[in-house]
Amino acid sequence: MTLDAASPEPLSPQRILVVDDSRAIGMAVTRSLASVTDLPIDYADSFKACEQLLTEHGSAYQAAVVDLNLPDAPDGQAVDLVLGNGIATIVLTGMLDESLHARISSKPIVDYVVKQNPGAIETVQRDVRRVLRNRERKALVVDDSVSYRAYLKTILATQRLQVIEAGDGRKALERIERWSVCPGRTIPSWGCVSSRLAPTIWCANPFCWKNSSAASIPAWTISTTSRRSATRPTATI
């Protein structure tokens, strides 16, 4: 989108980036996203074009959908470039084997989508909508282990949730009282993550649970049965 030179400022400083060398796929993703957001959507069909757009609008991008392999970036360089700019990234890939799965999963991405899968475009749309929505949501992580809280915080922050930590139930209640307009009851903007060692309180969208060791927050499934067997929370599509 090109703004008139006389315009005092952009109408919207926030944007979405789509990168894929297949114009058909790129346009399909762009049209799908345009149906659920009014944010400007930029399309790049190469690593070079992606670099240029990031130079022009880097800090404005709230989410990006990026092809893993481009003709001028066959080893995921575009994904790394976008992630390096601090942008929530959904990766598109034409295939997925065990080694590629491990490679992609090691990156701080929102999700990866196999292009050939039925409903791939709809999955991308849901991922982007969730990222945009999560900017207005808070997640409370309650655990007495600093390292485990940091682990969960990293996972949730990747999804662009605002993460607040508490080392025990009392501190969790203090955080809720401080940040909530209706403490102890339904808290629409909150999701909470706890563990078996700090099960005092859960307040998860859209209901409130007490004395529970497991609950869910919007678009997430959380495993917190044991630190030794804890698995990475995964986005639920």
pLDDT in tens, 47-79: 999 999 999 998 999 999 999 999 999 999 999
More confident of the two residues 117 and 234: 117
Q: CA nearest 191: which of 145, 132, 141, 235?
A: 141
- Give me the mean pLDDT over the 75-94 stretch: 96
Structure confidence at residue 9 (pLDDT)? 45
Is residue 224's pLDDT more than 90?
Answer: no
State the alpha helices, DSSP H only, in 159-210: 169-179
- Give me the mean pLDDT over the 208-236 stretch: 34
Min mean pLDDT across 52-66, 121-135, 154-168, 171-185 is at 171-185
What is the third-level CATH fold of 15-134?
Rossmann fold (3.40.50)
Fold: same for 15-134 and 138-235: yes
Per-residue burial over 151-178, b if 16 or more Cβ lie within 10 Å, else e, is: bbbebbebbbbbbbbbeebebbbebbee
d(CA 28, CA 213): 42
Mean pLDDT rounded to a whole number for the chain: 77
Q: Residue written as tokens 């074009």?
A: 49
Structure confidence at residue 178 (pLDDT)? 80
CA 77, 78, 79, 83: dihedral to nearest 10 degrees? Answer: 100
> How many angstroms from the chain centroid is the CA of residue 219?
10
Q: CA nearest 191: which of 174, 172, 168?
A: 172
State the alpha helices, DSSP H only, in the chain: 23-34, 47-57, 77-84, 98-105, 120-134, 146-158, 169-179
Largest CA distance in the chain: 60
Q: CA nearest 48: which of 79, 72, 32?
A: 72
Find the distance separating the first CA and the last CA of the chain, reported in whole Å: 31
- The answer to whether 76 touches 52, Cβ cutoff 8 Å, is no
More confident of the two residues 178 and 20: 20
Query: How many beta carbons lie within 10 A of that of residue 48, not counting itself?
Result: 13
Structure confidence at residue 17 (pLDDT)? 98
**What's phi and psi for 24, nearest 5 deg?**
-60, -45
| Domain extent listing, the chain | 15-134, 138-235
Min mean pLDDT across 7-16, 17-26, 39-48, 200-209 is at 200-209
What is the third-level CATH fold of 138-235?
Rossmann fold (3.40.50)
Which tokens in the block code for residue 99? Answer: 């080694």
pLDDT band at residue 191 using 50, 70 and 90 as cut-offs: low
The pairing of beta strand 201-204 with beta strand 88-93: unpaired
- Give me the mean pLDDT over the 194-221 stretch: 34
